[in-house]
Structure 1
Amino acid sequence: MKGIVVKGDQLNPRLVWEAVPDLVFGSDEILVDVWATAVNRADLLQATGGYPPPAGASEILGLEMAGVVAEVGEDVEEWQVGDRVCALLPGGGYAEQVAVPAGMLIRLPDSWSFAMGTAVPEVWYTAYVNLFLEGDLVAGETVLIHAGASGVGTAAIQLANAADATVFITAGSAEKLLACRKLGAELTINYKQDDFLEKVLAATHGQGVDLILDPVGGGYLDRNVRALGRYGRLVNIGLLGGTHGEMNMGLVLGKRLRIIGSTLRSRPPAEKVKITEQFQSGFWPLLRDGELEPIIDTIFPIEQAQEAHSYVAQNKNIGKVILTIREGADARPEVV
């Protein structure tokens, strides 16, 4: 089979589509012909040596995929060859085939393209886990979502709205702010022009928000703490702004805040299966029925993975950037 191989050095990685070893899959796993995968920030970090895969995971990039079941492990009963599926992965999505534990698969709706399917697992699970399982968001609360126009951000806006929460976001352009408002964000803040702390405090009459979802870290830490209200929660899911920051510990104690660090990729397989099950019984029906929508910005063929990474690195995207591996992956099937 073919897959993306990272060549060159860490400063100038080259993503090359070439032959890689065929896969061996276990008795409780499914071998899937991958039709589409997607670009995530973790892929960019891994390509530059900054985010190695978990022990035992594929060295090939790619944290999600959509495709067709090619072979079924002997202990698997619920899936058949030909089923259309999508799944979260610890790695390996940038390839023609991937081996997936059966419990990680979700069946694609009949009317969905593979591109739509692969736009869900990584960012929607990330948003779901960190808004609700880590952040304890409930109806009536207010959440601030940094990088609101990202894949995770566009999913988080919709999930928070579906839970009857009020959404504030930050983003870096008028186009991105508009897109977030269309998805349901009540307050949109251009972080390049305005101080989000001032805007948040003004909008909440000095009370602050209940939850912050932050992929930035670094220099945002102190302002995040100041932007939280009493009993607020800060869930940090990334370090785009650096690994170090300062904050007023007195505010953490005085407001009884919680600061939570969270990643998805490094969680054990059994936990990911549980998350998949929880998501399927919770918000997946809203996606399946069209009440929520995976947001796709741009679609590249897998041979242009290098260009796709550059596009994401430049923060051009609103929603997901998709890589198609087989022709027709972006076409919706005809439903009879």
Structure 2
Amino acid sequence: MKAITITEPGGPEVLTWSTVPDPVAGPGEVLIDVVAAGVNRADILQRQGFYDPPPGTSPYLGLEVSGHIAALGSGVFGWEVGQPVCALLAGGGYAERVAVPAGQVLPVPDGVSVVEAAALPEATATVWSNLFMGSGGTFTGSNLFMVAHVRPGETVLIHGGASGIGTTAIQLAKAIGARVAVTAGSPRKLARCAELGADILIDYRAEDFVSALHKATDGAGADVILDIIGAKYLERNVKALAVNGRLAVIGLQGGVKGELDLGALLTKRAAITATSLRARPLAEKAAITAAVREHVWPLTEAGRIRPVIDRTFPMSEAAAAHTALEAGDHIGKLLLSGS
């Protein structure tokens, strides 16, 4: 088969459309003929040599795909060859075929095309597991999923509201009855966030998000913050939190080391969590996937959650997709089309 390989760590030009060995469906796995793959920030880090795939997983880029089932490994039930699906991956999506644990496979939701479905697995799994999972008692007996617990009526601040994660988080938060604040870097991006349901629009290039949020909430702040920036925003995020607020850090675009005022955290009785999805054990990813299917898929099929897709590139032109992602002008997801 063909797959995107990395000749050496570096810029987008190191991505090459190469012939590689065909994958096979091992025990408990599903083999997928890839129709489309999502492009994510983690792919850029891996291309640059900073984010190796977990041991034993595919060396190729790509954390989510859509396509059709080509084969079932032993012990796999409930799926059929030819069925349209999408899947959460630890790697291997930038290819014509990929093998994935059956617990990370999802049916393509009604009303969503097979290509569009490639935009859903990573964003929905990330947002649901960090903002909502466990809030309704879906998982008991473990603090593993007890993250932000967004509740109806609470205010959620989403950094990077126009990103793939952000556009998904806006829709999900609105669907459960939260008030949504977003940061984005241009009026065009903020306008799209408003179309998706965002209530408070903050241009982080033109105003301080802490002051803007406090003004919009009469000084209360955000009950929950979903943060893709990391260290650069840590101090201001704590200031922006409401009493009993929760900060969920899911990205490190602004660095990995920051100074934390524990006194401010104690005064607000606030909490900070940091999670990643790729390296979770298979059982955890299967549980998250099952929760997404149970809670997010009905909203998607009802039209309340829709994939927001900026552009689709041919799979062989992955370098152009990475260049576009790094430029940061997109709204929603960038996809690679394999057929």
Q: Same fold (TM over 0.5)?
A: yes
Determine helix, strand or coil for the equivalent of 1:47: helix
Alpha-carbon offset, residue 13 of structure 1 = 5.2
- Aligned equivalents of 1:219 and 1:317: distance in 2? 22
Aligned to 1:283, the other structure's residue is in SS state: helix
Partner of 1:203: 216
Q: Does 2:285 align with 1:272?
A: yes
Alignment partner of 1:193 is 2:209: no
Aligned position for 2:43: 43
Secondary structure in 1 matching 2:306: coil
Which deviations, in whole Å up to 9, do the C-alpha atoms of 1:161-201 show, x marking residues without a partner? 00100000000011100000000100110101100011011
Matched letter for residue 279 of structure 1: V
1:236 matched to which residue of 2? 249
Correspondence for 2:52: 52
- The structural deviation recorded for 1:289 is 2.7
Correspondence 1:162 to 2:175: yes
Aligned to 1:334: none
**Contact 1:300 1:324 (8 Å CA) reproduced:** yes
Q: Which moved more, 1:119-128 or 1:99-108?
A: 99-108
Provide the C-alpha distance between the structure 1 equivalents of 2:315 and 2:285, rounded to a whole number of angstroms.
26
How far the C-alpha of 1:110 sits from its partner, in A, is 5.1
Task: Give the TM-score, by structure 1 length.
Answer: 0.94
**Residue number in structure 1 paired with 2:138:** none
Partner of 2:312: 299
Matched to 2:89, the amino acid is L
The equivalent of 2:140 in structure 1 is none
Instruction: Give 2:3's aligned residue.
Output: 3
Provide the rounded CA distance (Å) in 2 between the counterparts of 1:77 and 1:253: 49
Q: Which runs of 5+ in 1 are unaligned?
A: 327-336
Match of 2:26 in 1: 26
- CA shift for structure 1 position 230: 0.7
Query: After TM superposition, where is structure 1 displaced by more than 6 Å over at least 4 residues in a row?
Result: none
Count the aligned residue pairs. 326
Q: 1:120 corresponds to which residue?
A: 120
What is the one-letter code of the residue matched to 1:20? V
Quote how far apart the aligned CAs of 1:153 are. Answer: 0.2
Determine what percentage of the aligned residue pairs are the same residue.
Answer: 48
CA distance in 2, matches of 1:279, 1:12: 32
CA contact (8 A) 1:300 1:322 kept: yes
| Aligned counterpart, 2:97 | 97
Cα pair 2:111 2:301 within 8 Å, conserved: no
Alignment partner of 2:115: what SS?
helix
**Structure 2 letter corresponding to 1:103:** G
Offset at residue 50 of structure 1 (A): 1.0
User: Aligned partners of 2:104 and 2:274: how far apart in 1?
Assistant: 24
Say if 2:81 is the partner of 1:81: yes
- CA–CA distance in structure 2, aligned partners of residues 160 and 324 of structure 1: 29
Does the 8 Å CA contact 1:13/1:47 hold for their aligned counterparts?
no
Q: Is it true that 1:318 corresponds to 2:336 in the alignment?
A: no
**Higher mean C-alpha displacement, 20-29 vs 48-57:** 20-29
Matched, 1:70 2:70: yes
CA distance in 2, matches of 1:94, 1:233: 35
**TM-score for both structures, normalised by structure 2:** 0.94
What residue is the counterpart of 2:192 in the other structure?
A: 179
Partner of 1:333: none
Counterpart residue identity of residue 33, structure 1: D
Cα shift at 1:77 = 2.2
Q: Is the 8 A contact 1:6 1:13 kept in 2?
A: no
